[in-house]
């Protein structure tokens, strides 16, 4: 079987998000198929500046073809167009212009996808919102398997994504919440889909005492791993934790791992370790009382899966449907919706070690059952077999013509997404709270 993986950036040193997801999938499917990666020369997801040389290379043994990005992103133009399509009535032409403004625009890559699709069994495209996935899916419509990696983002409310989601051969969802949102917004229920997610690379030797010694972690701590950003809910986390620390005399620290975008409060109980190696990350994670995940927008949260993989319970932001849903399905963590609940959930985890350990064990079992690599690989292979056995569910709808794309009849993307049902999707697939 021949597979092509299309993603906006690809390199061994690009961590987190859909790029890492794509790399893991490519590397693990390489054991079952002839895998080739098609990507751009960009390294920076903000500018899309061409930093890697164009041409073919190998990353961890996987052949990678890089194509140059036609132009870098203009932040002002992108901000203006984002404001238009997310907050005002607009046209399909406006949405297409927004997509071009977002980038990365690489006509050579899309042309290559068209050729590779003809000679491959399937083309797996990552991150629906980017130019590469949108136009790549259209170029490889008959063989396109989309991994949308979407969250509750206004971009998902744009009209242009509907035809792509309805026209691909199959969709690999990260979570039931993502699947429900996409089906609610774009009526893609008839397209074969599977909620599979992604595994992680868990280190063999993990030693919390090593991290305790290296970083001087001599008190119990709550751990956050990821970009320290307002968009990740870190400002709220600092607020909640500061108030918790003021109220509680429990010797608990908040330890942060990741690159700071947000100023970190100068608080005696908040410690920032910076960007650390994988070994250190897992060592610190293994010694944590719990992993805290305060983000409002997550498609899956790989770090939560990593915590569960080593038996660490999770304290998540319940206002993110995916995080709450993952906690409910795994029984591996608690989730909060406000400061009081943050305090109460944290106290519960700390007061009852047996419960915390049980949550961690549940998380480990959940990871083993759903996110171990053999499970994920099998899910992809089953999906490919299923798609190969059947005909495409529908054809890709063409883009509207010049005139048809001009009427400003499209609703603001944010309003469209806000109107979609909310809430975690429990095991039975029915939401408790729907709006």
Give the interface with another protein as residue ranges (CB under 8 A). 11-13, 27, 59-61, 199, 201-204, 206, 208-209, 212, 218-220, 243-244, 246-248, 250, 278, 282, 286-287, 289, 309-311, 318, 327-328, 330-335, 338-341, 343-345, 347-348, 350-355, 357-362, 367-368, 372-374, 426
Cβ closest to another protein, residue 206 vs residue 393: 206
Q: Would you call 221 exposed, middle or buried from its count of C-beta atoms within 10 A (0-12, 13-18, 19+)? A: buried
Tokens for 429?
């697939």
Task: Say how many C-beta atoms besides its own lie within 10 A of residue 161's C-beta.
Answer: 25
Least distance between another protein and beta carbon 71 (Å): 27
Nearest-angstrom CA–CA distance, 241 and 342 = 8
Nearest-angstrom CA–CA distance, 85 and 78 = 11
Least distance between another protein and beta carbon 194 (Å): 21
State the angle between helix axes of 278-287 and 208-215 in degrees (0 to 180), rounded to the nearest 10: 100
DSSP SS3 for 113: helix
Nearest-angstrom CA–CA distance, 383 and 273 = 41
Least distance between another protein and beta carbon 106 (Å): 22
Cβ closest to another protein, residue 219 vs residue 408: 219
Cβ closest to another protein, residue 195 vs residue 242: 242
Cβ closest to another protein, residue 348 vs residue 394: 348
Cβ closest to another protein, residue 52 vs residue 78: 52
Phi, psi of 246 (to 5 degrees): -70, -35
Least distance between another protein and beta carbon 348 (Å): 4
The position carrying tokens 């910076």 is: 274
Nearest-angstrom CA–CA distance, 406 and 352 = 60
Evaluate whether 258 touches 225 at the Cβ level (below 8 Å). yes
Least distance between another protein and beta carbon 89 (Å): 36
Cβ closest to another protein, residue 162 vs residue 426: 426
Least distance between another protein and beta carbon 287 (Å): 6
């Amino acid at each position: 079987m021949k597979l092509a993986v299309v993603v906006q950036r690809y390199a061994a040193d690009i961590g987190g998000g859909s790029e890492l997801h794509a790399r893991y999938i490519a590397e693990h499917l390489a054991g079952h198929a002839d895998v080739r990666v098609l990507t751009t020369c960009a390294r920076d997801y903000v500018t899309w500046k061409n930093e890697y040389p164009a041409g073919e290379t190998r990353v961890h043994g996987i052949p990678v073809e890089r194509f140059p990005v036609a132009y870098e992103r203009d932040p002002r133009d992108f901000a203006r167009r984002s404001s238009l399509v997310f907050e005002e009535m607009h046209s399909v032409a406006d949405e297409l212009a927004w997509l071009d403004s977002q980038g990365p625009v690489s006509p050579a890559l899309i042309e290559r996808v068209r050729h590779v699709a003809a000679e491959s069994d399937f083309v797996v495209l990552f991150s629906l919102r980017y130019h590469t996935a949108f136009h790549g899916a259209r170029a490889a419509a008959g063989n396109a398997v989309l991994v949308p990696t979407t969250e509750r983002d206004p971009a998902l409310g744009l009209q242009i994504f509907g035809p792509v989601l309805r026209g691909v051969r199959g969709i690999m969802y990260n979570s039931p919440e993502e699947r429900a949102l996409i089906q609610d917004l774009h009526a893609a229920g008839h397209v074969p889909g599977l909620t599979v997610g992604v595994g992680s690379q868990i280190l063999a030797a993990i030693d919390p005492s090593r991290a305790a010694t290296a970083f001087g972690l001599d008190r119990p701590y709550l751990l956050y791993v990821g970009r320290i950003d307002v968009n990740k809910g870190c400002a709220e986390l600092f607020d909640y934790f500061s108030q918790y620390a003021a109220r509680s005399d429990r010797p608990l620290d908040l330890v942060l791992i990741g690159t700071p975008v947000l100023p970190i409060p100068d608080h005696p109980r908040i410690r920032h370790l910076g960007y650390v190696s994988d070994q250190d990350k897992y060592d610190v994670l293994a010694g944590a009382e719990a992993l805290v995940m305060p983000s409002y927008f997550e498609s899956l949260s790989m770090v939560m899966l990593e915590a569960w993989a080593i038996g660490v319970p999770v304290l998540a932001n319940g206002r993110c449907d995916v995080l709450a849903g993952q906690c409910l399905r795994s029984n591996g963590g608690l989730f909060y919706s406000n400061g009081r609940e943050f305090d109460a959930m944290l106290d519960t985890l700390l007061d009852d070690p047996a419960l915390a350990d049980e949550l961690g064990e549940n998380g480990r079992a959940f990871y083993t059952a759903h996110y171990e690599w053999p499970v994920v690989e099998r899910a992809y292979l089953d999906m490919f077999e299923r798609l190969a056995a059947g005909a495409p569910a529908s054809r890709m709808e063409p883009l509207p013509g010049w005139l048809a794309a001009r009427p400003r009849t499209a609703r603001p993307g944010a309003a469209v997404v806000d109107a979609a049902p909310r809430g975690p999707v429990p095991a039975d697939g029915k939401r408790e709270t729907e709006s």
